[in-house]
Amino acid sequence: MSQLLLDVNGLTMRFGGLVAVNGVNLKVKNRQIVSVIGPNGAGKTTVFNCLSGFYIPTEGSVMLKNQQIAGLKDYQISRKGLVRTFQHVRLFQKMTVIENMLVAQHRHLNTNLFSGLLKTPNYRRLEKDAMEHAAHWLKEVRLLDYANREAGNLSYGQQRRLEIARCMVTQPELLMLDEPAAGLNPNETKELDELIISLRDEHEISILLIEHDMSLVMGISDHIYVIAQGTPLADGNAEQIKGNPDVIKAYLGEE
Amino acid sequence: MTSSKLYNAIFAAGIALILACLMIGVKLDTDSSVLAVKGATAEQWIWIAVGISVVFLSQLFSAQVDALFGAIPKPNFKAVLPQEKKMAVLKPWLISAVIVGMLIWPFMVSRGTVDLATLTLIYIMLGLGLNIVVGLAGLLDLGFVAFYAVGAYTYALLSQYFGMSFWACLPISAGLAALFGFLLGFPVLRLRGDYLAIVTLGFGEIIRILLNNWTSLTGGPNGISGIDKPTLFGLEFNRRAKEEGAMTFHEYFDMDYSSSYKVIFLYLIAVLLVICVIYLINRLMRMPIGRAWEALREDEIACRSLGLNRTAIKLSAFTLGASTAGFAGCFFAARQGFISPESFIFIESAIILAIVVLGGMGSQMGIIFAAIIMTILPELAREFSEYRMLLFGLLMVVMMRWRPEGLVPIKRPNLELKQQ
């Protein structure tokens, strides 16, 4: 039943002589939450950058729904349904919340200059759909009341939620979250936890997660990959990872 | 008062002294066919001393001066303007009142005033065009005048060599300027900020130097003269028709000839063009493409991650901004009747950029006000024309202290959402 959505094989990224990522394999199935963990500087974000097309991987293949996406442009990859958030929130600060949501739906809108200038029925319909879709997702992350505020004026937790909502309106199949819980208080982390689970269970998408908050990772992940110094160290479910001596060694150092 | 303040004040006064001595204190003059260095007069020395003491004191008491600046009340437009709901009702009426006023007004004032208003309208067009590139898309363009020049020369050359009319050349000028915008856009796609500014600056100079040196085509520094004025459905505004059998405006309507008809007609064309440009850009700003420009200014990386093709967005900003300048250029050539590379120097780009910055990046209202101020102030201060750049600088400093976000900062559109 659960098909393979993302299949990464032997992903390697070199910057000159520095090997940042070395032979990483990842598999994400439909409706799965998969986490990537590892000490600071292990190359987790580099993996994300390779998958989302910000870097072109030196070696290895990235298959999304049995289609090779390594080497495609970043915007082409996100149009195929693989969308990411960032370690540091990247919103369109000076624009309102609702405008942020509309920009994200750019490719679903009628961007023809003339139909926009003439307000053709097709243009109006798509514009209206986009507004409704945006409103739906703002409600989902409890930001509907802030729709006309400038995004930069929201609190940090709200900005994090807006970033996720902004990804969701692009109708992705795989959402990649880069440290979504960084800077959140325990309450907000708990909400985030529920939001991620609802994304999987109700909206039927897969999530690839980088996170340092172990209680969050262990609680929600269906599968966990551990990377240390750019090399895959272990993978398995939460119990297997917790008991793996290599992982403990990588995190705590040798005795 | 700390000693660092005193030190600062002495330092600033010292620099002022050195500069004043060099620039005002000594003067080269011809003394019966021999160059001689002359000192300043006693009166000038007194002024220099006064100036230096002003610098010294203002630095010493800078905190108090700042407090004074802070005490100047910021204009509260909200209190003056009616409430938002009333505004929505009043807006169409206000706009039509302004348009009717602009149409009637030229018949009541002098020729010179109408001419100045026409010039202002050209700068409004240019400001609105640059606003797309700088204000919305956030791409600093210091060579905007190049597209203005392309528009102007397109009409001048087509009119001179092929005898084409103003109305036919208007879209061609805009199109050709857009093409140049597109061509410039390609090499600068990866550049941002300072680097982009330098390349665009160079582009502006390339166009000017090309026009200056391609003498066989453009007439070089002599420019092109005798460019045809626009006609009203074929009716000319000259005393006598250029071609046999053609009618002039005053003959057709059986009126006495007056040269002010031509000036007013040009003004009305400018009003028409400006209204078109304002309407089009206003629509663009509310369209997906306008939102994408602003998103690109805010965060390019986020744009890419959301599936926006930044190449297309940047190129469209350059192209549409340039085509607006092409419009303005075509009209400029028709109004002047004579153009030369002198009209398209760097300082023009700087003035247009100043209009955008003073008005408030991205804000159309602000740019219209700023364009009016920037063209009318130099006219009012004719006696101080030597100090024009000084006043210009002073205006910039005052604006940056008083309203750094521009005269009328951009207002975000309020989008109604259906509460579900």
Q: What is the pLDDT of residues A198-253, one digit of tens each?
A: 999 998 899 999 988 888 888 899 999 999 888 888 888 888 888 888 888 887 77
Bridge partners, residue B29, by sequence = B36
Quick one: closest CA in B to A104, which residue? B306
Same domain, B35 and B160: no
Residue in A231, A229, A250 with CA at minimum distance from that of residue A241: A250
pTM of the entire predicted model: 0.84
- Collect all residues with Cβ–Cβ distance below 8 Å to A212 and sequence separation of at least 6: A37, A179, A181, A182
Residue in A35, A134, A117, A49 with CA at minimum distance from that of residue A87: A49
Q: What is the mean pLDDT of residues A3-11?
A: 89
Burial of B411 (0-12, 13-18, 19+ CB in 10 A): exposed
Same domain, B386 and B314: yes
Task: Determine the distance in angstroms separating the CA of A69 from the nearest CA of chain B, rounded to an integer.
Answer: 14
Q: What is the pLDDT of residues B332-349, one digit of tens each?
A: 999 988 999 988 999 889
Verify whether the Cβ–Cβ distance B306 to A136 is below 8 Å.
Answer: no
Q: What is the mean pLDDT of residues A104-121?
A: 83
Residue position matching structure tokens 């990588």: A250
Pairing of strands B26-31, A231-236: unpaired
- If you count residue pairs, one on A and one on B, with CB atoms under 8 Å apart, how many are there? 115
Contact residues on chain B for A109, CB-CB shorter than 8 A: 288
Angle at A56 between CA A53 and CA A62, to 5 degrees: 70
Q: Which class is domain A1-81+173-255?
A: alpha beta
**What per-residue confidence (pLDDT) applies to B24?**
75
Domain membership of residue B409 (yes or no) is no
Verify whether the Cβ–Cβ distance B415 to A83 is below 8 Å.
Answer: no
Mutate to test the interface with B, among A69, A73, A94 (most CBs of B within 10 A): A94
**What per-residue confidence (pLDDT) applies to B368?**
92
Same domain, B204 and B63: no
Q: What is the mean pLDDT of residues B80-108?
A: 80
**What per-residue confidence (pLDDT) applies to A91?**
93
Residue position matching structure tokens 């003035």: B351
Q: Reduced to 3 states, what is the DSSP secondary structure of residue B353?
A: helix
Domain membership of residue B408 (yes or no) is no
Contact residues on chain B for A138, CB-CB shorter than 8 A: 417
**What per-residue confidence (pLDDT) applies to A1?**
45
Contact (CB, 8 A) for A78 and B305? yes
Query: Percent of chain B, pLDDT > 70?
Result: 93
Q: Which domain holds residue B151?
A: 86-402
Angle at A157 between CA A152 and CA A160, to 5 degrees: 70
Mutate to test the interface with B, among A86, A106, A117, A126 (most CBs of B within 10 A): A106
Domain membership of residue B412 (yes or no) is no
Arithmetic mean of pLDDT over chain B: 85
- Collect all residues with Cβ–Cβ distance below 8 Å to B306 and sequence separation of at least 6: A75, A78, A83, A103, A104, A106, A166, A167, A170
* B405 touching A (Cβ < 8 Å): no
**Distance, CA of B353 to CA of B374 (rounded, Å):** 11
**Distance, CA of B302 to CA of B308 (rounded, Å):** 9
Q: What is the pLDDT of residues A33-49, one digit of tens each?
A: 999 998 888 888 999 99
Verify whether the Cβ–Cβ distance A132 to B418 is below 8 Å.
Answer: yes
Lowest mean pLDDT, pick from A18-32, A160-174, B57-71, B271-285? B57-71
Same domain, B54 and B173: no
Q: What is the pLDDT of residues B370-380, one digit of tens each?
A: 999 888 887 87
Same domain, B96 and B67: no
**Distance, CA of B336 to CA of B328 (rounded, Å):** 12
Quick one: closest CA in B to A75, which residue? B307
Residue predicted with more confidence, A162 or B67: A162
Quick one: closest CA in B to A79, which residue? B307
At B420, is the pLDDT very low, low, confident or very high (cuts 50, 70, 90)? very low
Range among A82-91, B73-82, B188-197, B249-258 with highest mean pLDDT value = A82-91
Q: What is the pLDDT of residues B348-372, one digit of tens each?
A: 899 999 999 888 888 889 999 999 9
Same domain, B181 and B52: no
Verify whether the Cβ–Cβ distance A98 to B307 is below 8 Å.
Answer: no
* B307 touching A (Cβ < 8 Å): yes
Same domain, B64 and B97: no
Verify whether the Cβ–Cβ distance B412 to A54 is below 8 Å.
Answer: no
CATH number of the domain encompassing residue B144: 1.10.3470
Same domain, B47 and B172: no
Same domain, B254 and B352: yes
Verify whether the Cβ–Cβ distance B288 to A106 is below 8 Å.
Answer: yes
Task: Determine the distance in angstroms separating the CA of B47 from the nearest CA of chain A, rounded to an integer.
Answer: 47
Domain positions in chain A: 1-81+173-255, 91-171
Task: Determine the distance in angstroms separating the CA of B291 from the nearest CA of chain A, rounded to an integer.
Answer: 6
Same domain, B110 and B37: no
Q: What is the pLDDT of residues B214-253, one digit of tens each?
A: 988 888 888 888 888 887 777 777 766 666 666 677 777 7
Same domain, B44 and B94: no
Domain count, chain B: 2
Contact residues on chain B for A54, CB-CB shorter than 8 A: 301, 304-305
Contact residues on chain A for B305, CB-CB shorter than 8 A: 52, 54, 74, 78, 83-84, 86, 90
Domain membership of residue B135 (yes or no) is yes
Q: Per-residue pLDDT for B155 more than 90? A: yes
Same domain, B10 and B135: no
Residue position matching structure tokens 């050195």: B18
At B142, is the pLDDT very low, low, confident or very high (cuts 50, 70, 90)? very high
Q: What is the pLDDT of residues A61-80, one digit of tens each?
A: 999 988 899 888 888 999 89
Write the CA distances from B207 to B122, B341, B345, integer angstroms: 20, 9, 10
Domain membership of residue B97 (yes or no) is yes
Task: Determine the distance in angstroms separating the CA of A143 from the nearest CA of chain B, rounded to an integer.
Answer: 12
Pairing of strands B224-225, B338-339: antiparallel
**What per-residue confidence (pLDDT) applies to B80?**
62
Verify whether the Cβ–Cβ distance A95 to B418 is below 8 Å.
Answer: no
Q: Per-residue pLDDT for B413 more than 70? A: yes
At A2, is the pLDDT very low, low, confident or very high (cuts 50, 70, 90)? low
Q: Per-residue pLDDT for B133 more than 80? A: yes
At A175, is the pLDDT very low, low, confident or very high (cuts 50, 70, 90)? very high
What are the backbone angles phi and psi of residue B26, rounded to the nearest 5°?
Answer: -120, 150
